[in-house]
């Protein structure tokens, strides 16, 4: 594994950092307080090409690799988690799912406008009664000739009220002996009759982001918008999560870095007992743990990105990166508040927002408990990943044009 970033990677880091630091950082507290997404965010991310960063140029993307995607997510979440959430759902969970499982016609018709940022995409798996237990989902899609009629409700959906497209998993065969095999995936255009969306208010974190619900009432979904074969919905959803979790891991790494940088600044500035608090060993211990977490989280997500670039199955490595980075970012945010004392407990500083935002990532895209179960199952050899009919294509600079 080569740890050297290319000039292109460094260019992405610089461009995304400039956008996040200059355009979003000055206003993020205001939008977090208002519990609204800053109105310019999606348009600017589209203009800068961030929404199609790792998609082939022929599908409207920027033609960069999966490491570039990770680096962009790290820079975005170093400013605010809500920016990285856009990448997780638009790119990780939806667009890369289309790249992996879509037909050539679907990639031209549905993926290309997403990669260009003309259409915003989200991912609808969770329901009011089904989260971790995906096979329990109740949404129903019934085939009637050349359409499916979709009924059901999706809950806790990032960008629900902002998106034009949703990758939705619904039950097509209620009699399948294994309920996992009764699910299918659809790309639903959200201006279709019978679709309503709304926002969820009162969240602990990601307040400058958009989280909501999508309801389907007799919504007609054309056959040509089914992704993969009937019955492949569970496998498709899990492979989308392999990509979404990668973006969450990389973003959480950026959040750890933000906690570390804020703590270093404060520890040198704040004085107690006649010296700067950074001189106290108990403060140094907290900082040392943040340094350790940042490096470990970064190496774990870069390994997963390196595997994606080579077309290697990375479900285990991505799960490990996501679990480690999100738990570590929550701990880093908690310790950053401790270092800031009472000031850290107020929104005068960013660290209280970091803590509220970090908690969400321990819940979505597989709770930490689910990732622990996965890691133990791999170690005990209770779980082995069977090859998929469609794997995520390896990055190839020539064919990515
Ligand atoms: C801010 C935010 C954004 C989100 N965005 C999206 C989105 O864009 N699209 C989408 O589809 N979903 C989204 N979600 C939903 C998220 O993926 C689910 O919340 C998550 O999968 C957990 O499901 P649940 O909340 O129903 O919890 P449950 O599955 O009900 O779990 C409750 C608790 O039980 C534990 N638990 C469950 N099963 C086990 C087990 N077998 N062993 C041990 N413990 C277990 C869990 O770890 C958890 O602690 C989002 C959630 C949040 C908070």
* CATH code of the domain covering residue 353: 1.20.140.10
Are 266 and 367 in a shared domain? yes
Are 191 and 255 in a shared domain? no
364 Cα–ligand 1 center, Å? 5
What average pLDDT does the chain have?
97
Are 295 and 213 in a shared domain? no
For atom 30 of ligand 1, the residue with the nearest CA is: 131
CA–CA gap between residue 245 and residue 361 (Å, rounded): 9
Encode pLDDT of 297-321 as tens digits: 999 999 999 999 999 999 999 999 9
Are 100 and 187 in a shared domain? no
363 Cα–ligand 1 center, Å? 5
> Residue 392: inside a domain, yes or no?
no
Encode pLDDT of 112-137 as tens digits: 999 999 999 999 999 999 999 999 99
Average pLDDT score over residue span 372-386: 97
Encode pLDDT of 282-291 as tens digits: 999 999 999 9
Number of the ligand 1 atom closest to the C-alpha atom of 132: 29
Are 371 and 253 in a shared domain? yes
CA–CA gap between residue 119 and residue 391 (Å, rounded): 24
Are 365 and 242 in a shared domain? yes
Q: Token pair for residue 393?
A: 């294509």
Encode pLDDT of 324-375 as tens digits: 999 999 999 999 999 999 999 999 999 999 999 999 999 999 999 999 999 9
> Residue 52: inside a domain, yes or no?
yes
Q: Which residues are registered as beta bridge partners of 154?
A: 214
Are 196 and 269 in a shared domain? no
Q: Token pair for residue 298?
A: 């970064």
Are 341 and 370 in a shared domain? yes
> Residue 291: inside a domain, yes or no?
yes
> Residue 391: inside a domain, yes or no?
no
> Residue 19: inside a domain, yes or no?
yes
CA–CA gap between residue 301 and residue 322 (Å, rounded): 8
For atom 43 of ligand 1, the residue with the nearest CA is: 369
End of a domain among 184, 207, 234? Answer: 234
Are 245 and 375 in a shared domain? yes
> Residue 31: inside a domain, yes or no?
yes
160 Cα–ligand 1 center, Å? 17
Q: How many domains does the chain have?
A: 3
* Residue numbers annotated as active site: 365
Protein residues with CB under 6 Å of any ligand 1 atom = 89, 122-126, 131-133, 156-158, 206, 211, 360, 363-364, 367, 369-370, 373
145: left (phi over 0), alpha (psi -120 to 50) or beta: left
- Give the pLDDT score at 152: 98
155 Cα–ligand 1 center, Å? 11
- Give the pLDDT score at 3: 84
Are 368 and 256 in a shared domain? yes
Are 134 and 71 in a shared domain? no
End of a domain among 169, 201, 234? Answer: 234
CA–CA gap between residue 97 and residue 392 (Å, rounded): 8
* CATH code of the domain covering residue 226: 2.40.110.10
End of a domain among 119, 153, 171? Answer: 119
| Location of structure tokens 């003309």 | 118
Are 15 and 104 in a shared domain? yes
By most ligand atoms within 8 Å of CB, the mutation choice from 135, 363, 373 for ligand 1 is 363
Does pLDDT of 401 surpass 90? no
Number of the ligand 1 atom closest to the C-alpha atom of 205: 1
* CATH code of the domain covering residue 24: 1.10.540.10
3-state secondary structure the chain: CCCCCCHHHHHHHHHHHHHHHHHHHHHHHHHHHHCCCCCCHHHHHHHCCHHHCCCCHHHCCCCCCHHHHHHHHHHHHCCCHHHHHHHHHHHHHHHHHHHHHCCHHHHHHHHHHHHHCCCCEEEECCECCECCCHHHCCCEEEEECCEEEEEEEEEEEECCCCCCEEEEEEECCCCCCCHHHHEEEEEEECCCCCEEEEECCCCCCCCCCCEEEEEEEEEEEEHHHEECCCCCHHHHHHHHHHHHHHHHHHHHHHHHHHHHHHHHHHHHHCEECCEEHHHCHHHHHHHHHHHHHHHHHHHHHHHHHHHHHCCCCCHHHHHHHHHHHHHHHHHHHHHHHHHHHHHHCCCCCCHHHHHHHHHHHCCCCCCHHHHHHHHHHHHCCCCCCCCCCCCCCCCCCCCCC
- Tell me which residue range forms the domain holding 361: 238-379
């Amino acid at each position: 594994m080569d740890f050297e970033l290319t000039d292109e990677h460094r260019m992405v880091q610089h461009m995304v950092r400039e956008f996040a630091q200059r355009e979003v950082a000055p206003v993020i507290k205001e939008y977090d307080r208002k519990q609204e997404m800053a109105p310019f965010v999606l348009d600017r991310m589209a203009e800068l090409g961030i929404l199609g960063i790792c998609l082939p140029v022929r599908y409207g993307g920027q033609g960069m690799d999966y490491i570039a995607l990770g680096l962009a997510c790290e820079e975005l979440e170093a400013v605010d988690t809500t920016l990285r959430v856009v990448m997780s759902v638009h790119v990780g969970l939806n667009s890369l799912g289309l790249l992996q499982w879509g037909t050539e016609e679907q990639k031209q018709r549905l993926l290309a406008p997403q990669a260009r940022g003309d259409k915003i995409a989200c991912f609808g798996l969770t329901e009011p009664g089904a989260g971790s237990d995906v096979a329990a989902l109740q949404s129903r899609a019934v085939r009637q000739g050349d359409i499916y009629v979709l009924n059901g409700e999706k809950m806790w959906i990032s960008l629900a009220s902002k998106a034009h497209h949703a990758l939705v998993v619904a039950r097509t065969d209620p009699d399948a002996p294994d309920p996992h095999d009764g699910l299918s995936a659809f790309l639903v255009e959200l201006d279709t009759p019978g679709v309503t969306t709304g926002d969820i208010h009162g969240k602990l974190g990601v307040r400058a982001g958009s989280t909501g619900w999508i309801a389907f009432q007799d919504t007609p979904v054309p056959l040509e918008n089914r992704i993969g074969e009937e019955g492949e919905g569970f496998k498709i959803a899990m492979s989308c999560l392999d990509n979404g979790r990668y973006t969450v891991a990389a973003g959480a790494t950026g959040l750890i870095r933000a906690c570390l940088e804020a703590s270093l600044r404060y520890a040198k500035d704040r004085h107690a007992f006649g010296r700067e608090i950074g001189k106290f060993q108990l403060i140094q211990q907290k900082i040392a743990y943040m340094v350790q977490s940042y490096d470990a989280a970064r190496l774990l997500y870069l390994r997963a990105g390196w595997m994606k670039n080579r077309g290697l199955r990375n479900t285990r490595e991505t799960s490990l990166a996501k679990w480690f980075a999100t738990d570590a970012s929550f701990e880093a945010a908690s310790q950053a508040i401790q270092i800031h004392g009472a000031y850290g407990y107020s929104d005068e500083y960013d660290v209280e927002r970091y803590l509220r935002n970090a908690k969400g990532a321990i819940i979505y895209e597989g709770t930490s408990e689910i990732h622990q179960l996965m890691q133990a199952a791999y170690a005990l050899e209770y779980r082995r990943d069977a090859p998929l009919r469609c794997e995520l294509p390896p990055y190839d600079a020539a064919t990515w044009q």
